[in-house]
Amino acid sequence: MSTDAPKRPTSANVAGHGTGDHLQAGLKNRHLSMIAIGGVIGAGLFVGSGAGIAATGPGILLSYALAGVLVVLVMRMLGEMAAADPQSGSFSAYADRALGRWAGFTIGWLYWFFWVVVLAVEATAGAKILNGWLPGVPQWAFALLVMAVLTATNLFSVASYGEFEFWFAGIKVVAIAAFIVIGALAVFGVLPGTHAVGTSNLVGHHGFLPHGVGAVFTGMLTVVFAFMGSEIVTLAAGESADPERAVSKATNSVIWRIGIFYLGSILIVVTLLPWDSASVKGSPYVAVLEHVGIPGAGQVMNVIVLTAVLSCLNSGLYTASRMAFSLGRRGDAPASFARVTGRGVPRTAILASVVFGFVAVFFNYTSPGTVFQFLLNSSGAVALFVWLVICCSQLRMRKIIEREAPERLTVRMWLYPYLSWVAIGLIVFVIGYMFTTHDGRVQMVLSLAAAVVVLVAAQVVQARRRSVVGADAGAGAGAVAGTGAGAEAGAEAPEQA
């Protein structure tokens, strides 16, 4: 039987009971459900969407819709592979098997790099909010505090990560749901002091597409990276008791999650307020809450944003460490990364990830415009690389699964392989379009440079691995030959005697 055949989930490749080199199946269904729901809600939705609205106008809805369609397709493909073969390394492990060791190595390390840089971004963002409340405490101290607390949480057990994320994500979900309900009531003039606004803000102020159709794609560049994190549930599912069910549920719900949380909330913003108002560009969600008369809207949103930041930091550390663990298991990272504690936690992988995060935080304060900006730009396009690898892996893995274990296809990509190719085409288009803007071009060039560096490292590691295997095979052959010669000499001795 082919070695490419997908394996049924076992303690060897998914999770064990916290012994040996196995992760612990400590995540409950409610943890995974909330991780899946909250995974698409990042701090960027609350504070970064204003820039997209300003650049695109009400047409930003089309930008979010296009990016959302892309994410839905990618998640469906990833869900197909993850349900058939749950792995702690998720898409990196699938790329390893479908495309080659070089692909799994490269995309795994790039993904790890992306998330450890995110740790620094989110720690700094959270520190700024806390410093605003307690200005007597230096900002760097708050950044250190939040990193230390969430590192301790992840080191304790996967269940503690899941519990923290359950409440963080729960607060985000409740906040967005409340925002949509309040905003919808204001749109229809039901709230006291409001009147029905109709479509005046959607089609007024120079129209639905005030900057032309091309602005939709420009807006897409600003929002596409906000969806990074949707794939976390496929990594986390490997540490649950029923990974197949968790993955199926998460991939089936991604459509309504994106439709409600992103399109729904952005629709409220651009319907209630003129897209070109200064308040929308600054902080659209605060602007809406102030518009409908919510007292202390700014501080309410600060609490929500802080929760989103802590959630992203918590998940980022978890995700980076699990990818490092998977790389260690496959021999693409130090062997110590694959060792776990008695609680089933990959301690070395967590500490290695957080150390790089602390270094990045340091650069964020000492060299924000040089070293840290370089780190940001060189990891900026990793999301697109990850999605492209997922699509290419699925095209190969689908054939392998159908040939070797068709019963494992409990989640199937729609209209395979046509929609898979549509997704690939859309990703390639976005990558190409990034070269048309200055910021996008800088990010893409530096991200491609980072990818080339990691790819070269992958080739070096593979060459070294082949040389070791060759040396071992040669030594084994020599030992066998020596044994044979000795046996022959021993057989001839009696005759000579």
Task: List, for residues 67-122, the tens digit of each pLDDT value.
Answer: 999 999 999 999 999 988 888 788 999 999 999 999 999 999 999 999 999 888 88
What is the per-residue pLDDT for 478?
58
User: pLDDT-derived band of residue 475, with 50, 70 and 90 as boundaries?
Assistant: low
114 forms bridges with which residues in the sheet? Answer: none
Q: What is the CATH number of the domain that holds 103?
A: 1.20.1740.10
Q: Please report the DSSP string for 251-303 in residue order.
A: HHHHHHHHIIIIIIHHHHHHHHS-TT-HHHHH-HHHHHHHHTT-TTHHHHHHH
What is the per-residue pLDDT for 194?
81
What is the per-residue pLDDT for 15?
53
- Within a domain: residue 365? yes
- Within a domain: residue 49? yes
DSSP letter, residue 195 = -
Its pTM stands at 0.86
- Within a domain: residue 298? yes
User: Mean pLDDT over all residues of the chain?
Assistant: 84
Domain that holds residue 413: 29-468
| Helix segments in 25-157, DSSP class H | 29-38, 43-47, 49-56, 60-84, 90-98, 101-133, 139-156
- Within a domain: residue 15? no
- Within a domain: residue 325? yes
Report how many domains make up the chain: 1
- Within a domain: residue 485? no
Phi and psi torsions of 16, nearest 5°: -115, -140
Please compute the mean of the pLDDT values over residues 10-35 and round it to a whole number: 63
Radius of gyration of the chain (CA): 25
Q: Please report the DSSP string for 335-357 in residue order.
A: GGGG---TTS--HHHHHHHHHHH
Distance CA 48, CA 335 (A): 39
Per-residue model confidence as pLDDT tens digits over 476-497? 555 555 554 444 444 444 333 3
Tell me the HSE value of 10 on the side-chain side, using a 13 A CA sphere.
Answer: 4
- Within a domain: residue 91? yes
DSSP letter, residue 41 = -
- Within a domain: residue 41? yes
Q: Vertex 397, ends 395 and 403: CA angle to 5°?
A: 115
Q: Do the beta carbons of residue 394 and residue 182 sit within 8 Å?
A: no
pLDDT of 1 above 50: no
